[in-house]
Chains A and B, each alone.
Chain A
Amino acid sequence: MNAKLIIGLDGEASGSRALSYGKKLSNLIGDCAIVVVYVIEWSPFTFQTAEENAQRHKRREEELKIAQERIIDPAIKQLAADGITATGIVRHGDVADTLNAIALEEGAEQIVVARSSEGGISRRLFGSATSNLVMHASVPVTVVG
């Protein structure tokens, strides 16, 4: 049975660190597949103007396409170059909840994410996506510094 790792990317340097560590972990495990995930932060309970609503479907498609092209595809290519089987997922939602949900859907052994790149008042008020994930995840989580 091969193991599966979920790697959460954020499109920044911290996400690349998570990817490097995931790669290392995968090599150590041996028979291991990687799923790279990018979550577009989104909540169904925000307030929008009527015009934003009318354009929402179009924007969503664009967001998915951009994330796939700029974040997921390069990561998969990089992993494939190292001989690692990798797939990618882009999804809208709460970062922590979505990573956890994907880990359960995929039957993954572990989630690898980087230390939070958020700062300031929002982190103090709501906590970071990473700390939320660590507190609520159903599978082990590795946080890369």
Chain B
Amino acid sequence: MNNMTKFGLTSAMTALAANSALAQEAVSLDEKVNAAFASSTGWFVSFIFSPFPGTSFPWIVMWLVIAATIFTLYFGFVQFRFFGHAISLVKGDYSDPNDKGEVSHFQALATALSGTVGLGNIAGVAVAVGIGGPGATFWMIMAGLMGMASKFVECTLGVKYRNELADGTVSGGPMYYISKGFAEKGLPGGKILAVLFAIFCILGAFGGGNMFQANQAHAQIAGIVGDYPGWITGIVFAVVVFMVIVGGIKSIANVTEKVVPIMGVMYVGAALIILAVNFDMIGWAFGQIFEGAFTGLGVAGGLVGALIQGFKRAAFSNEAGVGSAAIAHSAVKTNEPITEGFVSLLEPLIDTVVICTMTALVIIISQQLIIDQETGNYVLNEAGTAIATVGGVGGVALTSAAFGASISWFPYILAIAVILFAFSTMISWSYYGLKAWTYLFGEGKASELVFKILFCIFIVIGAAASLGPVIDFSDAAIFAMAVVNIFALYFLMGVVREELASYASRLKSGEIVKHKG
């Protein structure tokens, strides 16, 4: 229970961490980094994940879910009403031919997705299902569907209030829409909130967007080649990231940006093949998901455990309400900010409803989770914190074992995918963090360089630190962004509703038409 409320991947990654821990005993640098890290971030983590008094339900999870529900209702289920229109926009049906050469809706969506599709879809889902049982999948899908509305609001605002700088480049994101939007509505405190968001965004960039990635990538590599100190992986990653973000070596980023989507397609493709081969079990798997969603099927924490894990991992995976996507989407060229909102609502759908569900189904169907044949309930591990698995593994290792049960060589592909996903997420978050940094300290080469160097240093720290403190801090920093962002969205959602009403009426009257070619 305690583990669940603290939300670490800790217990679930035990297998990968076990070997690592042995080696780290001998490596004093790793130990020092780890100890210093845990003692300096503990209070922050405890605050973000503190439960409602008398319950085990963390208030932050409730905060995200309530927001997504309010936005869904306030915008009249916009994620379903404008779903088809969102697809048309991505296809370019409504793009002005004179804007060719600018950032397209597809490109903005793909860029934002490359920042979210990654470890959350592979490791996070395994954690959710491993601790919360198959029922967590149901709540994950629900959170994904509702989260579409949160993305819609924040990305519309991201484009509407972005800064177009004198040199022709753009900067956008929550810090801009909070300060400008509040000023426009005559509300006080916009600047303070924007600064607060920017601080959390920088911490999120160092945490979930950096250290968590480095940490998991190291666990993957160590799992294949045998254990070795984390700081070595950290330095290799830091050097490559440094070459891209400081050295401007675009070719590395370009290769990653092309390979990552291919990896994503291969991942979904492999999942589909496994599902097709076991098609007779899909009905049973969905049965487990629905039954588990409302009964818990004996997992630790029961129904509430499944619900918390599902909501939590969905939020960490698709980042709806966090505000990061608003930074990525704000670069698109459009005269209608709301069109970017429509496009962005596809993100949680692809990330959570499609990819995360695929992972969950493969894990369930592969029967890596041990079921008590007499009761039909899941068997808990010795500590009683998670469901016992065939190989006693969790996190990435559980996903890997599940895919490996059907396709023996897939774990190798998965390992490469995890490393590449980690790298591309780091590149994306280095940009999000940089935007927050320049918002606070001003644009300029020297200021940017300081952030970029710090970012690279945190990669080494992330890879060297043991799992618990890094993951807890990563989660806490990302969710802290959501606290400020969603608070501001409540004040600004009226602006989006006006945009929506105006756009919908012009679409209906035929004023907004499709362009051909």
Contact = CB atoms under 8 A, between A and B. Distances in A.
Q: Give the 4 A-B CB pairs with smallest separation, nearest first.
A: A92-B101, A58-B168, A44-B104, A53-B331
A40 interface: yes
Contacts of B169: 54-55, 57-58
A133 B411 CA distance: 44
Interface of A: 40, 42, 44-58, 60-61, 63-64, 91-93, 97, 101
Contacts of B108: 53
Given A44-B95, A47-B114, A57 B170 contact: yes
A116 to B, nearest CB: 22
B100 A48 contact: no
B110 interface: yes
B392 interface: no
17 contacts: A40-B101, A44-B92, A47-B110, A47-B114, A48-B111, A49-B428, A50-B115, A50-B331, A53-B107, A53-B332, A54-B331, A55-B169, A56-B333, A58-B168, A91-B101, A92-B101, A101-B517
Q: Is the interface of A mostly helix, strand, loop or mixed?
A: helix
A72 B7 CA distance: 61
A48 B103 contact: yes
A92 B517 CA distance: 12
Given A42-B100, A93-B101, 4 more contacts: A40-B101, A42-B101, A50-B111, A51-B431
Q: Give the secondary structure class of B's interface.
A: helix
Contacts of A46: 107
A50 B258 contact: no
Nearest to A46: B107
- Interface size class on chain B is 35 or more
Contacts of B432: 50
B261 interface: yes
B78 interface: no
B96 to A, nearest CB: 12
B168 A57 contact: yes
B102 A47 contact: no
Contacts of A55: 168-169
Nearest to B324: A50
Contacts of A48: 103, 107, 110-111, 257
Contacts of A64: 101
B327 interface: yes
B106 interface: yes
Residue with the highest number of chain A CB atoms closer than 10 Å, among B115, B327, B517: B517
A47 B115 CA distance: 12
B167 interface: yes
A97 B92 CA distance: 15
A44 B106 contact: yes
Contact of A50 (B92, B168, B327): B327
B4 interface: no
Given A47-B107, A51-B431, A58-B169, A92 B100 contact: yes
Interface string B415-432: 000000000000110011
- Choose among A46, A53, A58 the residue with the greatest number of B CB atoms under 10 Å from its CB: A53
A61 B166 CA distance: 13
A48 B253 CA distance: 8
A16 to B, nearest CB: 25
Contacts of A51: 431
B103 A56 contact: yes
Contacts of B167: 58
B448 to A, nearest CB: 11
B500 interface: no
Nearest to A91: B100
Centre residue among B95, B105, B253, B261 by max chain A CB count within 10 A: B253
A46 B103 CA distance: 10
B171 interface: yes
Contacts of B168: 55, 57-58, 61
Interface string B88-101: 00001001010011
